[in-house]
Amino acid sequence: MSRLHKMPVFVGLIGFFVCAVLLEFSVDAGWVMQLVVPRPSDTILAFPEVQEDMDLFGNFFVTLAMTAAATFLALLIGVPFGYFLYRNTRYGIAYEGWLAAAFAAPTVLLYPLFLVIFGRSHLTLIAMGFIPGAIPIIIQTRQGLLGVSRTLLNVGQSFNVSHRDMFWKIQLPSAVPTIFTGIRIGVMYTLVNIVAIEYLIDFGGLGRIVSEMYFRFDTPGTYASIIAVVMVSVFFYWGFGRVEKWLRPV
Amino acid sequence: MVKTGLIQTSTPDPGSDENSITRIRVVTAIGLVLLWEVVASLGTVGILYDDVVPHIWNIIIAIYEELVSSSFYRDLGITFAEHIVGFIVGSIIAIFLGIWMGTSPLLRGALEPYLNAIGSTPKIIFLPILFLMFGTGIESKMAKGSLSAFFPVVFTTTLGMVLINPVLIRVGQTFNLSKWQMITKIYMPAMVNPVITGLRLGMAITVIGVLVAELKFADGGLGYRLGIYYEQFRIAPMYAIILIIFALAAAANVGMTRLQDRVNRHMAPTTTKGKKAQASASGGLGVVATN
């Protein structure tokens, strides 16, 4: 028992497999309706079918491309705007409450507006991904620059470095970990919004597959596509967490 | 003006610059309104799609019409019921699980990878499962609300438990407190702030979760109403509903933030000068909470 306490991840894995086996038997015994929850084995077997039928990998890259485009746009606008708010303190104070409010607002509900403007197109997905992505990048860029150590700035000043060098060699490297936190949050929100809109408007990549599988009443396929989305989210979350850890000074 | 190395940032003088900050806000708001009106006028003269960006007075009239319409309050009531039930159920489960995970490192280590995996996933993709389990009625929206509320609350509660000052725990153990006494006398008072932070985040995310579920399949609620207006291409009422939802969400958020600030002032330790240390509930981005 004490050895198990040292391996919680192993205990979690055992628990996961026990739940899967119990579910398999429950569905077989008719205690759980197969139409509602498929056998785990059926869900695993549905992956090749979903891949063949719906091009799971191809659609993963569609979602990935939309997320990358929206994030790039958010970076392009978010970082300079965050820098502007840092340099102009009054603007920073004036807008920080608005940005926080915008970050908490249910911006996903704006999608009908973008549908009206851009139609059911990739532009709608990018625009919907851009909004929640840009806000945390702006906020964290400003916070990161405001948090640069006074000592570092004084060292730069004592070496008489130019404005440009002060920014590129001292301020930006110091602020990168905080800015990257904003990017990580921004990317996660961008991905979430894009998958959500894909699901809602039946257009695009992974979100559309989930919607389509449900409409076909292909329960194992629906579960398989949902697991695919979860795996993509985990990949993003884990990947950006690793990079953030690498960037953050010990 | 304050010198920050060679990079000079204009730090406002508290008294006189309060006015200039207000001026920036007012000018920005007026600028946005004017920009909106210019775009709306371009639609009216046929340069852009007509009615895609309605004039502001049309939106104000639409808001008024919504607020005096009885069907609006029916939909508001449905959304409110779905939100409240979903939020309460999801939060209660999350608080209990969070406390359990916080006190048991084994359970925390075992469940954390799975909770992190699902927590970072867009919850909307679980809608088909909820529709299969609960149907397309009000119950599936409540379930979606619970799912949305669960994750921020469980994360903050667990974190709150883990970060409790060990000195407090040792004091409790020294006094031979029972498990229940430890929970009520040590853990709960120390956990109020993180739990309220989680509830604030959970409440905001539940609103989004419920509305998005209504947009997909529903026969009532503000999300359903928004979807209907979009399908009928009634753009001004569509904007009106969006603005009303934003205002309600902001009001709920402000209410929870004030509650948290009040609790912080009440719970914060007394400093040596006898003044209560104030901790602001606002600011920062909190955990990555997805809809």
CB atoms within 10 A of CB A129: 30
User: What does the mean pLDDT of chain A come to?
Assistant: 88
- Residue B183 in any domain: the answer is yes
The pLDDT assigned to B43 comes to 73
Q: pLDDT tens for residues B71-81? A: 999 999 999 99
Q: Is the pLDDT of residue B211 over 80?
A: yes
Where residue A249 falls (left for φ over 0; alpha for ψ -120 to 50; beta otherwise) is: beta
Check residues B76 and B164 and name the one with the higher pLDDT.
B76
- Taking residues B222-229, report their average pLDDT: 92
The domain containing residue B194 runs over which residues? Answer: 59-267
Residue B106 lies in a domain: yes
For the purposes of burial, counting CB atoms within 10 Å of the CB of B151, is it exposed (0-12), middle (13-18) or buried (19 or more)?
buried
Which residue among B6, B12, B216 sits closest to A93, beta carbon to beta carbon?
B12
Would residue B21 count as lying in a domain? no
**Digit-coded pLDDT (tens) for B97-123:** 998 898 888 899 899 888 988 888 888
State which residue of chain B sits closest to A164, comparing Cα positions.
Answer: B7
Beta strand ranges found along A66-171 (DSSP E): none
What is the tally of structural domains in chain B? 1
From B112's Cα to the closest Cα of chain A, the distance in A is 9
User: Hey, CA dihedral for A236, A239, A245, A247, is it positive or negative?
Assistant: negative
> What percent of chain A has pLDDT above 70?
97
Report which of residues B156 and B42 the model is more confident about: B156
Per DSSP, A97 falls in state H
- Residue A206 or B12, more confident: A206
In a domain, B89, yes or no: yes
Taking each continuous run of H as one helix and of E as one strand, the counts in chain B are: 11, 2
- The predicted structure's pLDDT at residue B255: 84
Angle between the N-to-C axes of helices A111-118 and B222-231, in degrees from 0 to 180, rounded to the nearest 10: 10
Query: Cβ of A207 and B290 within 8 Å?
Result: no
pLDDT at A96: 87
Residue B50 lies in a domain: no
DSSP designation for A127: H
CA A19 to chain centre: 28
CATH of the domain at B140: 1.10.3720.10
Nearest by CB: A166 against B7, B212, B245: B7
Q: Find chain A residues with C-beta within 8 A of B5's C-beta.
A: 153-154, 156-157, 166, 170
Residues of B whose CB is below 8 A from A192: 121-122, 290-291
**pLDDT value for B104:** 87
**pLDDT mean by block of 10 residues, chain A; 250 residues:** 73 90 91 88 91 88 92 94 92 89 83 84 92 92 90 88 86 88 88 90 88 88 90 83 72
Q: Is residue B10 part of a domain?
A: no
Distance from CA of B61 to the nearest CA of A (A): 19
Residue B244 has pLDDT above 90, yes or no: yes
How much is the ipTM here? 0.82
Q: Which residues pair with B4 in a beta bridge?
A: B7
pLDDT at B286: 39
Q: Is B7 in Cβ contact with A108 (below 8 Å)?
A: no
Looking at the complex, does the CB of residue B212 fall below 8 Å from at least one CB of chain A?
Answer: yes
pLDDT at A80: 93
For A47-247, CATH number out of 1.20.1540.10, 1.10.3370.10, 1.10.3720.10, 1.10.150.20 equals 1.10.3720.10
